[in-house]
Structure 1
Amino acid sequence: MEEEKLAYIEEFGLFFERVGGSRMVGRVLAALLVSEPPELTAGELAEILRASRGSISTATRTLEQMGMVRRFARPGERRDYFRVRPHAWEETVRRQSAMLSRFVALAERGIELLDPKTPDARRSLEEMRDFYAFWEGEVGRVMELWEREKRGRREVAG
């Protein structure tokens, strides 16, 4: 793989680590994003990234669980291949949106546990509920806008 792509992979991995992920998970994702063809085996990933098969296995499993990567096999081959899932970015946002709902529910449950006569104790939970409820609604609206944008792009393309 070219040096520029390898540098990009490292930059992506560092960014992924800075936002709370694993550097190796970011590196694997980036390698899949810039590979030609856009699918690689665990062995190919290990070679490109100069990493152990164990760390590649952990990273690909994590990416599969996140819904970012799809594992598949080709008929007659014993190796698994990995590819970034179509619409992975949208699915990631949808999954995060579901977590927003969970934060709202947890805040409401906490509020129910507190005495209504203690507004100071309730304030943080009410703020949490209101904040995540707001974002839950906004994400829904943004996803609707994105669907319209995608349809428009498809119509222009074709």
Structure 2
Amino acid sequence: MHTRWFLAGIALALGTASVAGACAVNIPPASRIEYGKAQGTIEGVAIVSVTTARHIAERQADAHPWQAHAAIVEMVEGSALPETFQFERGCGSSACEWNLPALPQAGDRWVVYFWKDRSGLFRPWLTMPMDEAIRFDPSFAKSGKH
């Protein structure tokens, strides 16, 4: 009888550990931005307007992946950023993300932090709605850009 409870306890602990361990390095957005700028990962920042967005997979638990197409409205840092591009969100779970943003609508303003890949192309590194950028990035809060 005790063996059955012991094995059930181990199974429960292992299941819990795998969920918790999956996001052991969940870095808050303000820290991601600070780290990305300090390490030179962020090579450009832009305010963008979503042109279209659609779900790209079925909902699984609390994740519902989507892809948005966007156009730059204002370059905040960097140069030679792509005028239009796409980015994805909603792929992680709430255990791994600071939020799970809903599918954006055309015209929604987002901030995109870009990195440069090995071929020299700018790629979205971190994306968030404008109101979150104002809350998490001191340079937006100070500049009044929005």
- TM-score by length of structure 2 reads 0.21
Structure with the bigger percentage of helix = 1
Tell me: higher relative CO, structure 1 or 2? Use CA pairs within 8 A at least 6 residues apart.
Answer: 2
Normalized against structure 1, the TM-score is what? 0.20
